[in-house]
């Protein structure tokens, strides 16, 4: 199966290991992975900060970059939610403002082909046991976009539970926002920090060595706080755990 | 100062002080988490909750679409039933109408049913200026009034107070408003309630004028509905000779049948009860039963402007249940006062900037007072997509420009240009990666300083993913 990887700007620039892990995982499961080089950013930070019209070139670019693919897979729930929920809105508004139907059509052509990684694994490939091996204690933070906008449900946890050697510990208050929220973290730093502190307290209470998530932007915030406090827990993207095998273990 | 939010600082600053107030944080955490769990259980009892929610949304949308017609129907029905209808375009006009109506009775005291509309217009302050004393009779509103405080929650305005603080407020201040609290008042809830009951009883029995809002107005008969828990509302709505109700124009529902939907949605979302203890309904006046004179003041105060906004108008569906406040992680930490209006929390962040506009610093900061986590939308009984409206209002604030937003717009434009030119983007990524050893852990400057105050920056990778792909796959 031919699959286009949407790496996302955050992973491209800051967390290439997540994108590399996604490639290795998908290839191990038999997919033929491609990386269309014209892709950059879905435009979520711009849109959520109130710059809808400034987001339009990125909607156009993203739709064009993936126009030839039936399956576009990304290891970022919030970017999928941006495309699924907001691209049609951006298109509809452009049309309502008398600027033609081109954006609405671009959105409509892209939306049905975009999958968050765990959706693609469980729903399209029909896999929950990816053959991964990761002998560590792990707790999982579901992230708001995956939880509420995409409705990922128990897909990530089922994938983690099937990993050999992995002990999954429930995260108390898992459904609560970590306090990242994109530009919220810098526009309301005190509230963001207070929310993050509660997330850290819950995560550390599990005693797990690894806090796993499916959205590196949330993990950048949580991980940045953990490191600042020299806490005995590291953050890891789900793709990196699923890419780890006995032959090529992630250390 | 009671009853006015004028001069509040912008949200981030007010929230900073609240976050550091450990007593406040503790009070809010305990209260919101308790009600959050109860609401979830009360809602889970109903298998048809999603259908009820959809029905509530559709009834409200239909009514708002034909609001002109339904408003005239309400006016005709209330008038036919012996009431008098007044129209108020804004807060000043509504306050003037109410003050004149009270003065015409010759009274200088009124008792009040808890009402968001009268908080919104600052009625108590306006009445005070007209020489009329307004007594709040809802327990939490009484605590706020006696404490010369401001409400911080839609349903539980004194949620920021614990019982020790409430005992002190009663002991210190009840005497200057009427019957004093007992000398040996404890902080036991039953003792506090008894002190309030005795204090309020003399006001109920003496008052000749009652003032209320309404949860619903039923267009087909001109019936007003107030739901409450304490029975103080029933007292104020039945004992006085004159009743004045100030009601937002969006509170209409077309028929009694529609009320069935909302009497299920509201109590479960609000107090987590299957049914609220007191539901009072009245249609104009009835000889020998209840107030002999009834005035309805229909309040616009920004609602027509809100209705004109295709995305923002869904905020007018709100039935003031406060479920969104109770699940909001930002509200839990920032408290209600930081929102600078009687409407705090997620609904306040979309309602206040629409009703008051975004000219002031605090109102322009409200659409950003959210991490867009979506918990509010999930619990809203009339499916208001609060995150969608927040982002929409951010666009209005950004378009307006002003403090910080011009720079931000320039930065966004530069970033978008870069992201629309992958070659330049790649060059930038490579430069950042190659100089990564030189990057400090903490950075100065707007944006980055706020980030690095509490968090480390991630280590930059040796190369961006694009370069790895080129080497290994292309």
Q: Whole-angstrom Cα distance, residue B114 to residue B319?
A: 14
Q: Residue B97: what pLDDT?
A: 98
For residue A101, pLDDT over 70 is answered with yes
Element spanning B312, H or E: none
Q: Do A224 and B416 touch (CB under 8 A)?
A: no
Contact residues, chain A, for B465 at CB < 8 Å: 7, 11-12, 16, 19-20
Domain topology for A137-243 = Rossmann fold (3.40.50)
Q: Min CA distance, A44 vs chain B (Å)? A: 11
pLDDT at B1: 32
**Res B95: pLDDT:** 98
Residues of A in contact with B353 (CB under 8 A): none
Question: Is A176 in contact with B422 (Cβ distance < 8 A)?
Answer: no
| Measured CA distances, B425 to A207, B132, B384, B458 (Å) | 40, 66, 38, 19
Using CB atoms within 10 Å of the CB of residue A187, give its burial: 0 to 12 exposed, 13 to 18 middle, 19+ buried: buried
Overall residue count recorded for chain A in this entry: 251
Write down the pLDDT at residue B2: 42
- Mean pLDDT on B207-212: 98
Q: ipTM score here?
A: 0.96
The sign of the torsion formed by the CA atoms of B16, B22, B28, B33 equals positive
Closest-approach residue (CA) in chain A for B425? A40
Which residues does chain B have within 8 Å of residue A148's beta carbon, measured at their own beta carbons?
Answer: 373-375, 377-378
**Where residue B182 falls among pLDDT bands split at 50, 70, 90?**
very high
Chain B positions in Cβ-Cβ contact with residue A48 (cut-off 8 Å): 372, 391, 394
Q: What is the pLDDT of residue B177?
A: 95
Quick: pLDDT tens for B238-271. 999 999 999 999 999 999 999 999 999 999 999 9
- Under CATH, which architecture does the B1-165+204-405 domain have? 3-Layer(aba) Sandwich (3.40)
Q: Is A144 in contact with B371 (Cβ distance < 8 A)?
A: yes
Q: Do A225 and B455 touch (CB under 8 A)?
A: yes
pLDDT of residue B447: 67
**A50 to chain B nearest CA, in Å?**
4
User: What is the per-residue pLDDT for A106?
Assistant: 95
What are the Cα distances from residue A29, in Å, to A3, A74, A114, B109, B210? 12, 16, 18, 77, 72
* pTM for the whole structure: 0.95
Q: Which residue has the higher pLDDT, B422 or A138?
A: A138
Domain boundaries, chain A: 2-124, 137-243
What pLDDT was estimated at residue B430? 85
Q: Do B465 and A57 touch (CB under 8 A)?
A: no
Cβ of A57 within 8 Å of Cβ of B15? The answer is no
- Tell how strand A234-237 and strand A210-213 pair up: parallel
Contact B375, B36 (CB under 8 A): no
Chain B residues inside the 8 Å CB shell of A39: 422
What average pLDDT score do residues A53-58 get? 96
- Listed in sequence order, the residues at least 6 apart from A35 whose beta carbon sits closer than 8 Å to its beta carbon are A4, A5, A7, A23, B466, B469, B473
Q: Is the per-residue pLDDT at A111 higher than 70? A: yes
A180 to B463: CB separation less than 8 angstroms, yes or no? no
A-chain residues within 8 Å CB-CB of B376?
Answer: none
Mean pLDDT confidence for B416-432: 85
Structure tokens at B265: 């949605």
Residues, chain B, total? 474
**Residue B9 pLDDT level (bands cut at 50, 70, 90):** confident
Confidence of residue B438 (pLDDT cuts 50, 70, 90): confident
Residues of A in contact with B451 (CB under 8 A): 185-186, 189, 224
| Greatest CA separation for chain B | 90
Quick one: closest CA in B to A226, which residue? B455
| Confidence (pLDDT) at B437 | 75
Q: CB B397 to CB A50 under 8 A?
A: yes
Nearest neighbour of B416 by CB, restricted to A54, A148, A185: A54
B86 contacts B100 by C-beta, under 8 angstroms? no
Nearest CB among B368, B412, B422 relative to A40 is that of B422
Does residue B443 carry a pLDDT above 80? no
Q: How confident is the model at residue B457 (pLDDT cuts 50, 70, 90)?
A: confident
CB contact under 8 A, A37 and B466: yes
Interface contact flag, A148 B456, Cβ < 8 Å: no
- Interface touch A188/B329, C-beta < 8 Å: no
Structure confidence at residue B126 (pLDDT): 98
CB atoms within 10 A of CB B58: 15
Band the pLDDT of A166: cuts 50, 70, 90: very high
**Which string of b and e fits B262-301 if b means at least 16 CB within 10 Å?**
bbbbbbbbbbbbeebebbbbbbbbeeeebbebbbbbbbbb
Nearest chain B residue to A20 by CA: give it: B465
What would the pLDDT profile of A181-200 be if each residue is shown by its tens digit? 999 999 999 999 999 999 99
List pLDDT tens digits, range B186-202: 999 999 999 999 999 99
Could you tell me which residues are beta bridge partners of residue B242? Answer: B209, B293
Q: Which pLDDT score, from 0 to 100, does residue A50 have?
A: 95
Asked whether the beta carbons of residue A144 and residue B454 sit closer than 8 angstroms, the reply is: no
Mean pLDDT, all residues of chain B: 94
Q: Do residues A195 and B375 lie in contact, with contact meaning Cβ atoms separated by under 8 Å?
A: no
- Among candidate residues A12, A15, A6, the one with its CA nearest the CA of residue A62: A6
Q: Are B46 and B399 in contact (CB under 8 A)?
A: no
Q: How many CB atoms lie within 10 A of CB B399?
A: 14
pLDDT tens digits for range A22-52: 999 999 999 999 999 999 999 999 999 999 9
pLDDT at residue A65 is higher than 50: yes
**pLDDT for the residue numbered B150:** 95
The domain spans of chain B are 1-165+204-405, 421-472
Q: According to the model, what pLDDT value does residue B4 have?
A: 65
**Do B255 and B219 contact (CB within 8 A), yes or no?**
yes
Query: What's the pLDDT score for residue B403?
Result: 67
Question: pLDDT at position B440, please?
Answer: 67
Q: Over range B360-364, report the average pLDDT.
A: 93
Residue B423: is its pLDDT beyond 90? no
Neighboring chain B residues of A65 at a CB cutoff of 8 Å: none
Which of B15, B396, B463 is nearest residue A16 as measured by Cβ atoms?
B463
The mean-pLDDT minimum among A40-49, B96-105, B450-459 falls in B450-459
Q: Express each pLDDT in A191-226 by its tens digit.
A: 999 999 999 999 999 999 999 999 999 999 999 999
Q: For chain B, what percent of residues have pLDDT higher than 70?
A: 97
Instruction: Determine, for residues A186 and B457 on separate chains, whether the beta-carbon distance falls below 8 Å.
Output: no
Q: Please give the residue that has the higher pLDDT: either B5 or B150.
A: B150
């Amino acid at each position: 199966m031919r699959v286009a990887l949407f790496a996302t700007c955050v992973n491209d620039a800051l967390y290439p290991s997540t994108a590399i892990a996604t490639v290795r995982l998908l290839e191990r499961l038999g997919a033929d992975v491609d990386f269309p080089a014209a892709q950059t950013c879905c435009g979520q930070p711009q849109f959520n900060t109130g710059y809808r019209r400034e987001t339009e070139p990125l909607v156009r670019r993203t739709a064009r970059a993936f126009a030839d693919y039936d399956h576009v897979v990304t290891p970022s729930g919030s970017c999928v939610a941006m495309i699924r929920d907001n691209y049609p809105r951006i298109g509809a508004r452009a049309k309502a403002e008398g600027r033609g139907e081109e954006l609405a059509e671009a959105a409509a052509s892209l939306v049905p082909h975009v999958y968050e990684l765990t959706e693609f694994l469980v729903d399209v490939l029909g896999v929950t046991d990816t053959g991964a091996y990761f002998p560590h204690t792990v707790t999982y933070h579901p992230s708001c976009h995956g939880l509420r906008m995409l409705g990922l449900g128990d897909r990530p946890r089922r994938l983690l539970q099937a990993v050999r050697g992995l002990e999954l510990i429930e995260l108390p208050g898992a459904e609560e926002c970590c306090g990242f929220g994109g530009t919220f973290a810098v526009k309301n730093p005190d509230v963001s920090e207070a929310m993050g502190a509660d997330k850290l307290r819950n995560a550390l209470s599990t005693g797990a060595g690894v806090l796993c998530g499916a959205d590196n932007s949330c993990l950048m915030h949580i991980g940045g706080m953990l490191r600042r406090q020299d806490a005995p827990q590291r953050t890891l993207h789900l793709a990196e755990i699923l890419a780890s095998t006995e032959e090529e273990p992630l250390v | 100062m009671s009853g006015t939010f004028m001069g509040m600082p912008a949200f981030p600053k007010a929230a900073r002080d609240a976050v550091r107030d450990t007593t406040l944080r503790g009070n809010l955490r305990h209260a919101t988490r308790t009600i959050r769990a109860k609401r979830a259980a009360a809602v889970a009892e109903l298998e048809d909750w999603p259908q009820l929610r959809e029905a509530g949304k559709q009834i409200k949308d239909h009514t708002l679409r034909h609001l002109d017609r339904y408003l005239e129907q309400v006016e005709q029905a209330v008038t036919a039933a012996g009431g008098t209808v007044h129209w108020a375009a804004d807060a000043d006009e509504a306050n003037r109408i109410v003050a004149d109506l009270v003065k015409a009775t010759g009274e200088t005291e009124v008792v009040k049913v808890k009402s968001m509309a009268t908080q919104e217009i600052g009625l108590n302050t306006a009445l005070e200026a007209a020489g009329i004393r307004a007594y709040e009779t809802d327990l939490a509103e009484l605590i706020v009034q006696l404490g010369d405080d401001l409400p911080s929650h839609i349903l539980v305005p004194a949620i920021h107070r614990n019982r020790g603080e409430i005992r002190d407020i009663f002991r210190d201040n009840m005497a200057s408003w009427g019957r004093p609290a007992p000398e040996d008042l404890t902080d036991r809830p039953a003792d506090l309630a008894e002190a309030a009951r005795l204090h309020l009883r003399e006001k109920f029995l003496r008052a000749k004028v009652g003032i209320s809002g309404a949860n619903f107005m039923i267009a087909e008969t001109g019936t007003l509905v107030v739901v409450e828990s304490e029975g103080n509302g029933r007292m104020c709505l039945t004992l006085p000779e004159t009743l004045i109700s100030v009601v937002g124009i969006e509170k209409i529902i077309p028929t009694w049948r529609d009320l069935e939907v909302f009497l299920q949605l509201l109590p479960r979302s609000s107090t987590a009860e299957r049914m609220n203890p007191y539901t009072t309904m009245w249609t104009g006046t009835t000889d020998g039963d209840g107030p002999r004179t009834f005035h309805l003041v229909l309040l616009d105060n920004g609602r027509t402007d809100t209705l004109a906004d295709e995305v923002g108008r869904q905020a007018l569906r709100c039935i003031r249940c406060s479920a969104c406040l109770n699940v909001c992680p930002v509200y839990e930490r920032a408290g209600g006062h930081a929102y600078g209006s009687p409407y705090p929390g997620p609904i306040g962040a979309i309602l206040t900037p629409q009703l008051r506009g975004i000219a002031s610093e605090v109102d322009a900061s409200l659409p950003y007072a959210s991490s867009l986590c979506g918990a509010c939308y999930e619990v809203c009984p009339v499916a208001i997509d609060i995150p969608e409206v927040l982002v929409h209002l951010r666009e209005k604030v950004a378009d307006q420009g002003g403090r910080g937003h011009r720079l931000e717009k320039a930065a966004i434009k530069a970033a978008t240009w870069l992201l629309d030119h992958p070659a330049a983007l790649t060059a930038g990524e490579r430069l950042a990666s190659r100089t990564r050893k030189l990057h400090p852990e903490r950075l100065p400057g707007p944006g980055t300083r706020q980030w690095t105050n509490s968090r480390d920056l991630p280590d930059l990778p040796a190369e961006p993913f694009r370069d790895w792909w080129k080497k290994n796959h292309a």
